[in-house]
Amino acid sequence: MRHGVDPPEVERAANGLRVRGHGLYLEPRGRPPLGFLAHARGAPPVLPERMVVTGPTSKLLEAALPRALRRTATLPAVYGQTFALGSLRLTLHPAGHVLGSAQVRCEAQGLDLVYAGDIGGAGARASLTAETLEQLTCTTLAIRAVYGHPRYVFPPRALLLERLQDFVERALRDGKTPVIVGAALGEAQEVVRHLGGRRTLRLHPTAFRACEVYTAQGCELKGFVRLDDEGDVVVVPPTVRLARLKLRAYRICVLSGRAVDGIAGADEALPLADHAGYDELLGYIRATGARRVLTIGGHAEDLAQAVRAPGIEALAIREQHQLALPGL
């Protein structure tokens, strides 16, 4: 590391990223003593011994990973309520990504760090089934850069949902089964909210269980049934092999921010993402007023380069290797 550059507030450790000088891991892998889980989507099968989460995230984990959850002590937190955890003071705030998703503010002597993790879109691109993203200010910001490249700028959500509905109606008119491929947690609930009043949606078990949690948490979803029931539209995650479903003639629409790049094998692909796009990431970062920005994963280098400016230090973190510091 260059002489005179303070070490980043987030460091690489045995189980992933950790707040430097403290025992809190940020979305760890493996089983460290203490971890913060920002949301339930893509949660690992092994959870920390003690885990800070929101109540909705805990419920979603209970539905998806009941065995893993029984082996961890959850420390449920409420948005906006600060609590002490060892030498840290933590406050969770909505991230706008999926139901229960959270940013965490970490405060201690000499430390004012916000780990935003995966944030969702804002304004016309905001999720309709997640809590509204809260804009925070801080001295140091750590944020994930899933869509941190300039090509990932997404259309308004309402326009994409209209195109999705048009795909469904065209497929049905042509005697085909519309198959919508999207994340079981996040995108599936957006589909149900938009189409469930018009059509009956047959959901993969993971998406069905998540929808049950959403409704129990007060999110209005209707018109969804289990995959083996009767219905008009099939909704499955990307991991499902459609050949095993033994469907008759069908058409596929894939929902993902990666649709910007094109998706092979899809009849249609729409960039309906529950992550913030490039322009939204930049807007959020600049509004924090952070003097140091740590970009993580995805297009971390591209996002860090766009953020760097006089008085703003931006570092890209490679989770599996070492910190990438400018000038090294």
The pLDDT assigned to 38 comes to 98
- Write down how long the chain is: 328
Q: Are 100 and 57 in contact (CB under 8 A)?
A: yes
Angle CA 300–304–308, to nearest 5:
180
Q: How many degrees, rounded to 5, is the angle at CA 258 between CA 234 and CA 126?
A: 80
pTM of the model: 0.94
Q: Are 10-152+275-324 and 157-270 in the same CATH fold?
A: no
The model's pLDDT over 81-115, given as tens digits with 9 standing for 90+, comes to: 999 999 999 999 999 999 999 999 999 999 999 99
Domain with residues 10-152+275-324, CATH architecture: 4-Layer Sandwich (3.60)
Q: Could you say which residues of the chain have pLDDT below 70?
A: 1-5, 320-328
Q: What is the pLDDT of residue 318?
A: 79
* Maximum Cα–Cα distance across the chain: 67
Q: How far apart are CA 96 and CA 274, in angstroms?
A: 8
Of 33, 81, 87, 37, the C-alpha closest to 62 is 37
Q: Look at residue 6 in the predicted model and tell me its pLDDT.
A: 82
Q: What is the pLDDT of residue 325?
A: 37
Where would I find the H helices in the chain? 55-64, 66-70, 157-173, 187-195, 205-216, 278-288, 300-307
CB atoms closer than 10 angstroms to residue 188:
29
Task: Return the pLDDT at 246.
Answer: 87
The CATH architecture assigned to 157-270 reads 3-Layer(aba) Sandwich (3.40)
Distance, CA of 10 to chain centre: 20
Cα 103 to Cα 85: distance, rounded to the nearest angstrom: 16
Q: Are strands 10-13 and 233-236 parallel, antiparallel or unpaired?
A: unpaired
pLDDT of 326 reads 38
pLDDT tens digits for range 129-166: 999 999 999 999 999 999 999 999 999 999 999 999 99
The pLDDT, as a whole number, for residue 34 is: 97
What residue spans define the domains of the chain? 10-152+275-324, 157-270
Q: Which spans in 20-71 are helix H?
A: 55-64, 66-70
